[in-house]
Each structure stands twice: as structure tokens, then as C-alpha cells.
A and B are shown apart, each in its own frame.
Chain A
């Protein structure tokens, strides 16, 4: 039934392959360019290097978390506890730093903790077959309640300057941007060039087929959750070190933002498709929109409505594109 579309000559050009592989990513990328052009034309300060820096740096931790979330969703799962986890990681990191541990311990231990927690979640999901949304919904409660019980919400301040990795600015660019870019490239590379990376798509696309192909889907699911833990961990460290103060609470609605970034970036909620570049672009797009709305004097009262409409427009555009592709 897809006759006309698929009589392509064997082996298409690299450019064609690129286009067919990155449909939604291109939509998001063009949206960013569009915003830069339009808003920049209205208010040139939008294009000042400081503003571009803050657009890229401001949501870097969301982009990093969305990398892991994208992998989770590609594998056919979801994690609604990522916001709470990032809050916990930030608190652990800050506590370690304030209590005089070397900064590398303060950076590393929370990441390892995050990977361990998520590997546990992954194991529960993979081996007991409880839907991931249920397990992570439970984790959300546990992490949130546990964090408040442990800290009573005491703010963490007076962290050593060398701990504040997100505030460092090598060559004038916030280091969070380096992390975002490097991890996105690394993750894309990892997904494209390793067996494990490819098996994420396989497990998300067809779990039983993956098993028959000699992949151990349970192990992949645990691995993907652990990897997601790594990205959440790095996101947590960036989050913790962005400011002089750590709130030691759960950042509100962070999980929704992260999931939205993944989905808008082109990861199908049904699993099996998507790229991490898309989610990073989407996180940048959100920062762009947030900034643009302020620059355009959109009444703050209507900000969220406009954001919602934009998400809807992106989704519908994607649907239309997919329908045309069929």
C-alpha cells in the first residue's frame, strides 16, 4: 500500500537518509531558528551573546535529563520520578560539598547513587513486569517524601567555589552548555554505534523479537534505566551548581518538562523511535520560547496558554508530517 513512497533506489544518498531520519528534529530546529530570526528582528537584544548564552545554559540540565528520558521512552518505558530524583541528587551533592568532601566526590557519589536507584527501578520494571509508570509514580512519592523528611527543606549554602561546575565559563561559554552538547553527541554516538544503543530501539520496538534475536531485553531495560540514572545524575549536578543556593526540594513539574522535551523532540511515546538530538533541541526550544515570550511582552498571564498552544502545534505538525510520510 505504500507503493509510491518506497520505490526508492537501493542505497539512498546520505542527505536523504539524514532527512528521513530526523524529521521532527528538523521541525524543532527550524522553530528555534524562526524564533531567533523573528524575535531578534523585533528586539535585537534577543540575539546578544549573553542572551544566547543564557538560553543555552538555562535549560542545559533539562536537556541532559531529557537525553536519558529519551532513551527510556525509546525502550518503551517512562519515568515520572526524574524531577524528584534530580532534587535528591542536588541535595546529596550539596551536602557532601558543604561538609568538606573533595568536590569530585561531591560530583561523583550522587551520580552513582542515581544510577543505582534507577537500576533498581529498571530491575523492578524488567523482571516483575510492573509498568514503569507505576513504579516511577511510586518512586516519585518515595523520593519526594524522603527528601523532605531528611532535609526538612533546609537550604544548602556556602558551597566551595570549585564545586560550582555549572558556573564555570571556559572560553566565555557556560560549562553547562559544554555538558549539554558533549553528552548529546556522546549519547547519539553511543546509540548509533554500539550494540547496546541499537538494542534500545529493538527492545522498544518489539521486546519478544529482541529476545529471539539473542538480546536479553531485561538486561537492556535495566541498563537503560541505569544510563538514564547517569544522565539524571549529571543533570542533578548541573542543577545543583547553577546557583549559590540549593533548595533541597523537588523542583516543581520538572518531570513534565523533561518528558515534554523528549516527546516534542520526536521520541514516540509508543517506543522504538526517536533521537536524543531532538530532545536537546526541544529543551533549547523551551528556553527560547520562555525567553522570547518575555522579550515579546506577552502578558505573563497568558504565557502558559501560549506555551501549551505551541506544544500542541508542534505535535499536530508532527502528526501531519507522519501522515504525509505514509
Chain B
């Protein structure tokens, strides 16, 4: 690996900007994501910034199973993000549909709609797990 790509990799690791998108979750994962921003966990110390626009974000954090109404909007938001971009499925529902698998208004996990780079299990995924999951995703990029 050349020096330049090493530097680029390093920068990507140190500066993950995230976008949070709720695809039909039960609130549990969402309050845990917000909890990760409050003083006890403070995500900014890892360089994580919560961004409001998909153009600025590197990682999209999706929580909840994809409901029928939300799936087209999810794809649109994903398309607005710039490469390289990663999808992180937060919680069991986002990973596989979870307990909502088979419900008539639910498509399933995030991976039925988008390519998912990391699955963070848990119902809900705790703030620590969310931080750990994002960091693991970043470390895997090193290779």
C-alpha cells in the first residue's frame, strides 16, 4: 500500500461523519443513538460528527426494519451520499427485520434495500455497541 492511500485510510478512520435515518424503528435504537451523543459517551471525541445532509456524511446509521413506505426514501438518501459510503444497520430489526420479519408492511432488514457494511446487533444496540460497531467498521477498512 502506498503512502498516499495509507494517509487517506487514516483520515477516513479518524473522521467518520454520520447521518442517522430512522427506517421504522421502535424508538429504542434511536434513543440509544442520541444517548451516545450526550456527555457520558460523547461521540465527537472519535471525530464522529452527526451531519444533517447526506452529501456530507460517510456513514448512514439506519435503525429499524424497512417499512414499505420508507424504503424508496432510504434509497434516495443513500444515492445522495458521496463515495466511499457505508451503511450501518443498528439493532436486530435493521440487521434482519428482527421480530418484525414477515409483517405485511415491512420489507425486512436494511440489506434487502441497501448493501450493508456493518451490522450492530442488540435490541436495542447500546451506545457502547454503536461506538464499537462504527470503530470496527473503520478498522476493517484498513485492509
A binds B: no
